[in-house]
Amino acid sequence: MDNVSMNEDIDANSPEKKKKKLITTLIVVFVSVIVLNFMIYKFFVPISWSRFNDKRIEYIEDKLKLDLDNVEPIHYRHVTAQDHIADFDFKVDDYKSFMEDDFHGKAILSCTEADDKSSVKYWCWVEEMSGSYDKCFDVTFTKADDGYNAELFCYRYVGELSNHSKETTALE
């Protein structure tokens, strides 16, 4: 019996077994590095688009609760920062009809217009994301030759004002 166990020890330490073990270890490390890189890319690198197809437009419409049929998208960027969700730049002919007809979120909380209507800023409550924060966006329309350029900044809103906004919009 001692000879059998001695032969098993020799087989376990044979060069072929060591080589197989090394190759298996290298494969596991390689796959782990690939998975880790994918996770880092997925969660920390922002999505940035300047070309748009139907699938991307549908994604933005769902995220921002906007109908983008009458919009010329310029640039969209989805980030993974703590409170910052997305930036979206686009062109529109008529900002007022766009906000009244194409915004499908919870409520428009405020609108500030310049006296000459060269710039207009809306603050919108998009949706409740959890009990402690909501998704909101600020969009600024600036007069251009052929309509309005818009810069939208979407973010998570945390705090008492969020609860106050829900109460005031419920009364309207």
114-148 confidence digits (pLDDT tens) = 888 789 999 998 888 776 788 899 999 999 988 99
Query: In degrees, to the nearest 5, what angle opens at C-alpha 168 toward C-alphas 163 and 171?
Result: 130
Is residue 120 within a helix (H) or strand (E), and if so which, with residue range? strand 119-128
Best-predicted range by mean pLDDT among 25-39, 102-116, 158-172?
A: 102-116
User: Cα(137)–Cα(118) distance, rounded to whole angstroms?
Assistant: 20
User: Cα(62)–Cα(54) distance, rounded to whole angstroms?
Assistant: 12
Cβ-Cβ contacts under 8 Å for 27 (sequence gap 6 or more): none
pTM of the model: 0.67
Task: Share the mean pLDDT of the chain.
Answer: 81
